[in-house]
Amino acid sequence: MSWQSYIDTLRTADQSGMVPVREAAICGITPGQESVWVSTAGLSGISVEEIKKLAGDRSGFGQNGVHIAGQRCRLIRDQMDLEPIYALDLKTAADADGNTFGICVGRSKTAVVIVMGTKDATGGQLSSKVFNVISHLRKSNM
């Protein structure tokens, strides 16, 4: 299975028939090898520094937020160290039209999976998509 096929899977309809994921990326987090492995256009600008922050110490996220592909986000919930969830729930700052978007970041042993939702997507829809991919990667020891 190619990394692109994981992105394609993330961007399929859920049980409600809605496609909740607008953008997605999978990034390697091995120290010294942090990089974007695959992404949609909207998350292609994720920097190595942003990847390191997502995979590292998140203690300042509650107070300072975090950036993903240059987009400022605020922390909603950090369950990145909680088995079997391994995920962060974030919300983007409002865009020019006042819209905010949910973001879910999941972590396996070697990667982070990042999804940005559509305007109407719920955090639960996004975390369900991320959970399925992260669970598969963890079972595959990746």
Domain boundaries, the chain: 3-139
141: left (phi > 0), else alpha (psi -120 to 50), else beta?
left
Asked which of 21-30, 34-43, 56-65 is least confident by mean pLDDT, the reply is 56-65
* Tens digits of residue pLDDT in 31-55: 999 999 999 999 999 999 999 999 9
CB 26 within 8 A of CB 8: no
Amino acid found at 64 = N
Q: In this model, does residue 13 exceed pLDDT 70? A: yes
Tokens at 31, concatenated: 């120290």
pTM: 0.94
- Topology of domain 3-139 in CATH is Beta-Lactamase (3.30.450)
Mean pLDDT, range 98-121, rounded to an integer: 96
Predicted confidence band of residue 1 (pLDDT cuts 50, 70, 90): low
65: left (phi > 0), else alpha (psi -120 to 50), else beta?
left
pLDDT at residue 2 in the model:
84
Tokens at 69, concatenated: 């592909």
Task: Quote the radius of gyration of the chain (alpha carbons, Å).
Answer: 14
Mean pLDDT, range 7-35, rounded to an integer: 95
The mean predicted confidence, pLDDT, of the chain is 94
pLDDT at residue 137 in the model:
94
